[in-house]
Amino acid sequence: MLTVGWDVDPRDWSLPGPDAILDRILVATRPGAIVLMHDGGGPREQTVAALPRVITRLRAAGYGFVTVPQLAAIARPTSH
């Protein structure tokens, strides 16, 4: 089992609004960061509304996105 931690928690579960979710992510994201966003456990409309803007702004800042399996492959040391 793989355990994955996160670096950025925009507290989207607290329903602060899409603008606050975006701002919290942009302020806290650094190279290599893992951003936590919630997709269950209550109303997620604000998270869904913020996500396209988050993706656009982070890509414009030079960030890319990987899946957890891709991240695990990147982090796994290679043996020779």
Give the pLDDT of residue 42.
82
Distance CA 41, CA 22 (A): 20
Give the pLDDT of residue 23.
98
Q: Per-residue pLDDT tens, the chain, 80 aa: give them.
A: 778 899 999 999 999 999 999 999 999 999 989 999 988 778 899 999 999 999 999 999 999 999 888 888 876 666 65
Give the pLDDT of residue 79.
60
Q: Which residues pair with 8 in a beta bridge?
A: 35
CA proximity to 6, closest of 14, 24, 44, 43: 24
CA proximity to 38, closest of 26, 25, 28: 25
What stretch of H or E contains 68? helix 68-75
Looking at residue 60, its amino acid is A
User: What pTM was computed for the model?
Assistant: 0.83
Looking at residue 5, its amino acid is G
